Amino acid sequence: MENLLLRAPSTLTSTLPPTFQIQNSFFAVGFTTPTTFLRNRTESTSHLCCRTKYSPSKAFPTKQELFLLQQKVQEDDEEIDDDSSFLSLSMKPDRNLGLLDDYETEELGYDCDPNHKSGYVALLGKPNVGKSTLANQMVGQKLSIVTDKPQTTRHRVLCICSGSDYQMVLYDTPGVLQEQRHKLDSMMMQNVRSATVNADCVLVLVDACKAPEKIDEVLEEAIGGHKEKPPTLLIMNKKDLIKPGEVAKKLEWYTKFTDVDEVIPVSAKYGHGVEDVKNWILSKLPNGPAYFPKDIVSEHPERFFVAEIVREKIFLQYRNEIPYVCQVNVISYKARPNAKDFIQVEILVERNSQKIIIIGKEGKTLKLLATAARLDVEDFLQKKVFLEIKVKIKENWRQDEGFLKHSGYGGQIGIV
CATH code of the domain covering residue 167: 3.40.50.300
232-237/201-207 β-pairing: parallel
pLDDT band at 49 (very low <50, low <70, confident <90, very high): very low
Task: Report the alpha-carbon distance of residue 183 to residue 74 in Å, rounded.
Answer: 32
User: Does the residue 408 lie in any domain?
Assistant: yes
The reply to whether 206 and 275 lie within a common domain is: yes
SS3 string, the chain, reads CCEEEEECCCCCCCCCCCCEEEECCCCCCCCCCCCCCEECCCCCCCCCCCCCCCCCCCCCCCHHHHHHHHHHHHHHHHHHCCCCCEEECCCCCCHHHHCCCHHHHHHHCCCCCCCCEEEEEEEEECCCCCHHHHHHHHHCCCCCCCCCCCCCCCCCEEEEEEECCEEEEEEECCCCCCCCCCHHHHHHHHHHHHHCCCCCEEEEEEECCCCCCCCHHHHHHHHCCCCCCCCEEEEEECHHHCCHHHHHHHHHHHHHHCCCCEEEECECCCCECHHHHHHHHHHHCCECCCCCCCCEEECCCHHHHHHHHHHHHHHHHCCCCHHHCCEEEEEEEECCCCCCEEEEEEEEECCHHHHHHHHCHHHHHHHHHHHHHHHHHHHHHCCCEEEEEEEEECCCHHHCHHHHHHHHHCCEEECC
Comparing 400 with 408, which gets the higher pLDDT? Answer: 400
Q: How many CB atoms lie within 10 A of CB 177?
A: 17
The reply to whether 253 and 328 lie within a common domain is: no
Last residue of a domain, one of 255, 284, 313: 284
Question: Residue 383 pLDDT more than 70?
Answer: yes
The reply to whether 162 and 278 lie within a common domain is: yes
| Averaged pLDDT of the chain | 78
Last residue of a domain, one of 234, 250, 284: 284
The reply to whether 270 and 316 lie within a common domain is: no
The reply to whether 105 and 137 lie within a common domain is: yes
The reply to whether 276 and 233 lie within a common domain is: yes
**Degrees, nearest 5: CA angle 397-399-403:** 55
User: Does the residue 78 lie in any domain?
Assistant: no
pLDDT band at 174 (very low <50, low <70, confident <90, very high): confident
Last residue of a domain, one of 256, 284, 312: 284
pLDDT band at 188 (very low <50, low <70, confident <90, very high): confident
User: Does the residue 365 lie in any domain?
Assistant: yes
Task: Report the alpha-carbon distance of residue 412 to residue 405 in Å, rounded.
Answer: 8
User: Does the residue 80 lie in any domain?
Assistant: no
Q: Which residues pair with 119 in a beta bridge?
A: 168
The reply to whether 98 and 136 lie within a common domain is: yes
The reply to whether 210 and 239 lie within a common domain is: yes
Q: How many domains does the chain have?
A: 2
User: Does the residue 279 lie in any domain?
Assistant: yes
The length of the chain is 416
Comparing 49 with 5, which gets the higher pLDDT? Answer: 5
pLDDT band at 415 (very low <50, low <70, confident <90, very high): very low
Task: Report the alpha-carbon distance of residue 278 to residue 283 in Å, rounded.
Answer: 9
The reply to whether 134 and 230 lie within a common domain is: yes
| Cβ contact 250:219 at 8 Å | no
Question: What's the domain range around 248?
Answer: 87-284
User: Does the residue 389 lie in any domain?
Assistant: yes
Lowest mean per-residue pLDDT among 54-63, 164-173, 395-404: 54-63
User: Does the residue 259 lie in any domain?
Assistant: yes
The string of pLDDT tens digits covering residues 25-35 is 333 333 333 33
**Helices 216-223 & 183-195, crossing angle to 10 degrees?**
80
The string of pLDDT tens digits covering residues 81-133 is 444 444 455 556 655 545 555 555 555 555 567 889 999 999 998 888 999 99
User: Does the residue 160 lie in any domain?
Assistant: yes
The string of pLDDT tens digits covering residues 305-330 is 999 999 999 999 998 889 999 999 99
| Cβ contact 349:391 at 8 Å | yes
The reply to whether 277 and 388 lie within a common domain is: no
The reply to whether 211 and 355 lie within a common domain is: no
Estimate to the nearest angstrom the gap between the alpha carbon of 72 and the chain centroid: 33
Q: What is the CATH number of the domain that holds 335?
A: 3.30.300.20
- pTM confidence score: 0.71
The reply to whether 137 and 276 lie within a common domain is: yes
Question: Residue 218 pLDDT more than 50?
Answer: yes
